[in-house]
Structure 1
Amino acid sequence: YFTEANQQKFLQSNIVITRVNSIYNFSLTPDRTTIITKGGTALFSHTLTNIGNSVDSYDLSHDYGLRPNVRIIVDRNNNGIVDAGETAITPDENGKHLVSNINPGERINILVSVPTSVGEAGSEINSKLHAESKGKTDLPKLSVDEQILFQTGGNAIVYKALNKASGSSENDTEITVYLKIANDDPTASNIAKDFSLTDTLDTKFKYVAGSAKWKNYNGIDTVLSDADDNESDSHNNQPLKFKAEKEGEKDKLTFELPNGVPGDSPLSSSNGYLEFRVVVPANTPIGTIPNEVNYKFTPTGETTSIPRISNRVNYEVLKYVRATFTGHHIPEGQAGETL
């Protein structure tokens, strides 16, 4: 304020303190159903998100009871499959699997691996995955459903994976996409016939022309043409079809194995996948690029095709900082001059 003598005075008011309390909250999503052959391993992918404002840890548990070798795994690169170096969480004596120190706003993918036997009774198995907060133990326990259905006569499975899970868009970023195509039926005669898939890419994924190749079930590579034409496996002359085309602003890829996916070609085998490259363009906004694949096949002994959807893979576009500095050039100055 100014005094009557026009002198300016500065004073400080009383101090007001606002205290931000710790709030604990979280989410667990979604319910999952998977279809496998008896004797195969079911794999479920769920997302656990800390939506509170404090670091928290969580106890995970399941309802599979004494079923042997059920594992809970943190999916470090969010690709929906168990990769090398991703190990199961060791449960405590109460069957709790601890996931520690999840930051506010952080989300992690949880995989539940459930082996089955060829002598399973019934046509399905039902269970739940549970999560409980360690930071606030009176929060309600959250649960998601898991359902295993059994397919007979050949069962095609497609798993999608990326060679990197995240990156900044300071420059164009190239990513390799893998589509593992398997048939978990242990009987070689049970072919998943008339197999085809369609991968409609997000607009932020740009297909690299001519980058597709097929690694057959004997481990032999065949480079694929983007044209809409019939091709053949370079090793055993089996028919193939691959096409890359535009659907509006999106790149759409289709792949066919007219002779089907042979039985006894499980996901654990190193062969049998379609590979191609995409580019995330420079200056793509921060966010998540999701992608999944639609596919269909006909089991041996059946006449009706079965439609399926692969696992969903997320690529995270991270923030980056970039700045330029421009200045003014003063060619000369005199002593005592202010520049």
Structure 2
Amino acid sequence: MTEPEIIAALRLQNIPNIGDVTAKKLIAHCGSPIAVFEDKLHHLLKIDGIGKMTLKGLHDPIHLEEAQKEYEFLSKEDITMFYFMDDGYPTRLKHCVDGPILLFQRGNINLKHQKIVSVVGTRNVTNYGTSFCNQFIEEIAPLNPIIVSGLAYGVDIAIQKAAMDHGLQTIACMAHGLNQIYPKVHSKYKSKIEANGGFISEFWSTSQPNRENFLKRNRIIAGISEATIVIESAEKGGSLVTADLAHGYHREVFAVPGRATDKWSKGCNDLIKFQKAHLLTSAAELVYLLGWEIEEKKQKKTVQKQLFIELDETEQSIYSYLQMNGKQLLDTVALECNLPIFKVSSTLLNMEMKGVIRPLPGKMFEAI
């Protein structure tokens, strides 16, 4: 986009009564952000759903002045801007009617990789939640997914730290301008996140981390990914809002179950109980339900690293059973090998990475 086009888009984004849905409607009718400001008001009022209150302030010079200031800021900083029709704009977010018309990015984000998962949860994460974050990332790491979260206390930072520890790309979706980090204590992760991932936001440099901004940014977390995972949540909270948004976007939602008496598992248990989310106890379940397949080159790479594939005692037990009995259901393998299902799920995923078993439709597996 040219400088005048960028400024016009910023100007449109800055008008209080014009949200992203209305802005897209105006742009579609007029052809471009610039054309919106060049068109006559009486023409714009003929657009379905557009009234005088919506267009109030459309030509107020303050919005142009502020847009020019923000453009100057963006030009000086190492921040990339994506218009919602640009190729670099997140593909899945393009399909969300209320996705932001402008998205700002800092770091080394590569969204061409389409295995994107958003992870949210309580700020009061327990040891159980932290342990699951580490287990999940360890299991899913061979598939090299992108992990999206909000860099908040609790589940957010736990999952993003685990992702960084395993060399995965992680994206922090912020509720303020990219000229700051909130909470400030997490500024220490800034360089590491930018080195392999980065930060995204729809908010200007003048925006502060206000409560309404966190609720607004949740639609980006839900919309940018293929699936949203909730790891620990109370009965109410922003994580459940994100899950509802993901469900509304027709994305898969997963929830990690907890004990019925645990306050911080109540939200997750309710999501599962009311069939708003898939029960998630291991990465293998997500891989299966999303239909993710390990690319052949990854299998070859894994095998090349291990000229002689070593199986631990549990893996050997499962492999021997599958060799003797052929294709088997996950539940049957767990029963016959006398192992809990969550243990079998994670073990089968590891064995799949080693190239010794393959998943089949209907939660079945067979030895190679």
The structure carrying a bigger helix percent of its residues is: 2
TM-score by length of 1: 0.27
Question: Which structure dedicates a bigger proportion of its chain to strand?
Answer: 1
